[in-house]
Structure 1
Amino acid sequence: MSDYGMASVTDVSENFVPFITGEKPQITDTVTIASGHAVAQYTVLGRVTATDKYIPCVKTATDGSQVPRRIAIYAVDSTGGDALGPVYCEVECNPDELVIDGSWGAPEEMKELFADQGIYLRRPM
């Protein structure tokens, strides 16, 4: 019998790395991602105070976006203009899966700031 066209039967569950790592209920919302950004899935976002729009969180920013507030659930391309994107407002998640700007040394630097938002970083057991 030919296996041509058959789906693979390889068990990939041993390679699965979860993003959600706890039993805390997830709170989500939709926010405006400011134009000029290609945001990857699980990117840490900060809110620009003057516009209330979200951009990737950079530790050295001075416009309000230096505070990690949300995590992008999916990739969002706002390079052509502002775009709406779903975000986690509260979640317990794997810090190793976060997409963070290089200005942050490691996700653990965000741990206390995230906790103030209801986002908790915990690696899977």
Structure 2
Amino acid sequence: MTTFGAPPFQPGMTTDTYIPDQLIGGDLKIVTDNATITGGAIYKRGTVLGKITASGKLTQALAASNDGSQTPVTALVDDVDSTGGDVTGPVFRQAELNGNALILGTGITLSTAKAGMEAAAGYNLFIKSPVTAADPT
């Protein structure tokens, strides 16, 4: 258990450092929704998802799929464990996402994800490609 309080630097006290995952790529208001996630896997935050046409369920977008899920439509807000079957999980409805932090399925490129997510009906997602602030020397 981490103890928070003043003064933070006394014997026996610990501090935590928050290190963001950089998934959010802008200041557009974030809107999320719950959706049915299938696929029998553990998906990490930022996994790019496609919608299965027949069922309307979401699964990881893979280029080799031919059930509609090969077209990316959204990404996961949080980690989801669907190993036991279909689960309800949080997905982005509106956001600016950092393309470098997205988890792309096999055969899905960043440009494919961007085109699919920006064109998906009912979603207002924008993929950004941030420029590094590293010293160029």
What TM-score does the superposition give when structure 1 sets the normalisation length? 0.82
What's the counterpart of residue 127 of structure 2?
Answer: 121
* Amino acid in the other structure paired with 1:45: L
For 2:90 and 2:111, how far apart are their aligned partners in 1? 23
For 2:100 and 2:128, how far apart are their aligned partners in 1? 9
Structure 1: which 5+ residue stretches go unaligned? Answer: none
What's the counterpart of residue 134 of structure 2?
Answer: none
Structure 2: which 5+ residue stretches go unaligned? Answer: 1-8, 132-137
> How many percent of aligned residue pairs carry the same amino acid?
30
Rg larger for: 2
Change (3 A) 1:123 1:5: farther
What TM-score does the superposition give when structure 2 sets the normalisation length? 0.75
**Pairs within 5 Å for 1:26-37:** 26-37=30-41
Q: How large is the Cα RMSD of the aligned pairs?
A: 2.3
Once the two structures are superposed, what CA deviation does each residue of 1:90-124 show, in whole Å capped at 9, x if it has no partner? 210101111111212x3233222221132111134
Residue 51 (structure 1) shift: 1.1
Contact 1:35 1:80 in 2 (8 A): no
What's the counterpart of residue 93 of structure 2?
Answer: 89
Paired residues, what number? 120
